[in-house]
Amino acid sequence: MTFDELLAASAAAHGHLCPGQVVGVRLALLGLRLQGMAVPPTLAQLKDLIVYVEMDRCAGDAVAYVTGVRLGRRSLKFADYGIMAATFLNLRTGRAYRILSTEESRELAALYAPEETDKVRQQLVAYRRMPDSVLFRVQEVEVELREVDLPGPTRAKATCQACGQVVRDGREVRQNGRVLCRPCTGGAYFRRPREIVWPEMNWIPSAGPLWPLRPSSAHEDDHDQKDSPD
Ligand SMILES: [Zn+2]
Ligand SMILES: [Zn+2]
């Protein structure tokens, strides 16, 4: 497979061709090369590979596509740093490389593709022409992956003593002698959860077409009247 074929496949999976795809595909290729892995990795190599992606942007999709790591297989880890970087960890050897996309590469796009006037086109072309040494910085890093973060069967389950929710993989929090899920400690991305039900909630797939089933007649058990709608 050529670079262009790989890029086209990654762009198709992502939804569009963008500069992030070029950088992401190249970043993934460099990571696999540093780990001595094939493109795509063999099944045996894939079992040893964990990739930490530090941004939820276009390049992240390319890295996942080219390497074959998946959130659902626990081989793709998301570190919400807002940094254009990814770390490739080999579980067998323990070696890990963190690859960062350089800011200079953005500034140098005009130099590498002077014939292009459109900014996006210029980046698309320039990021193919730049050597890895201009596009990236590489760090050798140490990554301590906890047992509960490894791929494979669930190693730990706990039950939240406030809401009863089962929490997997050691993500429970111990607070004042109680075992709690993260939302119950106030550390959630949402707030004011209120359980709702509606008549059509009894829908099952064999019942017919996938109609838009909005909870139109939903009612709430409104415990807290003091809240204003937000
Ligand atoms: Zn994109
Ligand atoms: Zn809870």
Distance 197 CA to ligand 2 centre (A): 20
Helices (H) and strands (E) in the chain, counts: 8, 11
Distance 43 CA to ligand 1 centre (A): 27
Distance 202 CA to ligand 2 centre (A): 26
Residue 173 burial (10 A CB sphere; 0-12, 13-18, 19+): middle
Task: Answer yes or no: pTM beyond 0.95.
Answer: no
Alpha-carbon separation of residue 86 from 52, 205, 206 (angstroms): 5, 39, 43
| Residue 48 CA, distance from chain mean position | 18
Could you say which ligand is closest to the alpha carbon of residue 159? 2
Give the model confidence (pLDDT) of 148-193 as tens digits. Answer: 999 999 989 999 999 999 999 999 999 999 999 999 998 899 999 8
Written as one letter, the residue type at 22 is V
More confident residue, 202 or 123: 123
Going from the N-terminus, what domains does the chain have, and what CATH number goes with each?
3-149 (3.30.1330.130), 153-201 (no CATH)
Residues with CB under 5 A from ligand 2 (ion): 160, 162-163, 165, 181, 184
Could you say which ligand is closest to the alpha carbon of residue 22? 1
Q: How far apart are CA 22 and CA 169, in angstroms?
A: 35
Minimum mean pLDDT range among 84-88, 100-104, 124-128, 210-214: 210-214
Distance 151 CA to ligand 2 centre (A): 25
Distance 65 CA to ligand 1 centre (A): 13
